[in-house]
Amino acid sequence: MFSKLFKKREPQKPKTPEIMGLYLGGSFELDDLKLSLLEPSLVIDGAARSHLIQAVGEAPLDTGGTLMRFYTDDDAFLQVVLDGGLSENNITDVKLWHFYNTQTIGSQAQWDKCVNNLISQPTYDLEGNTYTRVWEAIGEVSPPVAVTETTYEEDGDISKTDQFMMLYERELENDRVESLLVVGEEKQVGNNLDRCLVISTGFDIQPADITING
């Protein structure tokens, strides 16, 4: 009797990030014609037009902004950058990224080399294309940008990943660019650190390029 009257409330699940109608379990579609015209200039090939969001990540930036990532079933993620708030009026950049390669880092020496030398370089070559570093610091050294991303998955799992990243670009026709993201990821798994180097290629998304399903 008393157990029914004073039963414990179920703990509330953390609210997952949402923006532009994008949310965990939601979906969106890319404009087929525009992507068909752009895709021959990109590293990716055979990109899906329909995407189901299977995980959502959020990371505060040192600049006061926020990075949101919507991971999809096409080994891709739609990244939304916000500055000064979490409304659509604060959006400064939207890109669709596709994972290109992930390499496990097995030792501290390899990790130090990645963070200190490999991730941030003046230029980065991939499949015969040369990308130029975008995030430049004052002086000769431009260290990777560090963020901590909290990722929410459909099964309720929540994890944190420290990321050290650098953005690169190369010019395409019609004033478009292809972006390259090089990231060293570090995640605590039990008593061990799980580390890897993740390379992704991406391109800008304009409002007319995407349809978000409600």
Half-sphere exposure in the Cβ direction for 68 (13 Å, CA): 25
111 phi/psi in degrees, rounded to 5: -65, -45
Q: What is the pLDDT of residue 6?
A: 47
For 118, list phi and psi in degrees, rounded to 5. -85, -45
Query: CA 73 to CA 64: how far, in whole Å?
Result: 30
pLDDT digits (tens, 9 = 90+) for 92-122: 999 999 999 999 999 999 999 999 999 999 9
Q: What share of the chain is helix, strand, coil (3-state, %, to 5)?
A: 15, 50, 35
**Residue 80 pLDDT exceeds 90:** yes
d(CA 184, CA 145): 10
pLDDT in tens, 161-182: 999 999 999 999 989 999 999 9
- Once rounded to an integer, what is the mean pLDDT over residues 45-66? 96
pLDDT score of 191:
86
Segment 121-128 shows an average pLDDT of 97
61 confidence band (pLDDT: 50, 70, 90): very high
Query: Could you tell me the residue ranges of all domains in the chain?
Result: 12-205
Range list of β-strands (E), 112-144: 123-126, 129-133
Element (H, E) at 111: helix 108-113
pTM: 0.91
Look up residue 135 and give its two tokens. 């995030």
Predicted pLDDT of residue 5? 46
Distance (Å) of CA 28 to CA 13, 21, 50, 68, 177: 24, 9, 6, 15, 22
Kindly report each contact of residues 120-123 with a partner whose C-beta sits within 8 Å and lies 24 or more positions away, as own/partner: 120/144, 120/166, 120/182, 121/166, 123/168
pLDDT at 214: 65
Q: Which of 172, 193, 165, 173 is nearest to 79 (CA)?
A: 165
Alpha-carbon distance 178 to 180, whole Å? 7
Q: What is the mean pLDDT of the chain?
A: 93
- pLDDT for 2: 46
Question: How far is residue 183's CA from residue 17's CA, in Å, rounded to a whole number?
Answer: 22
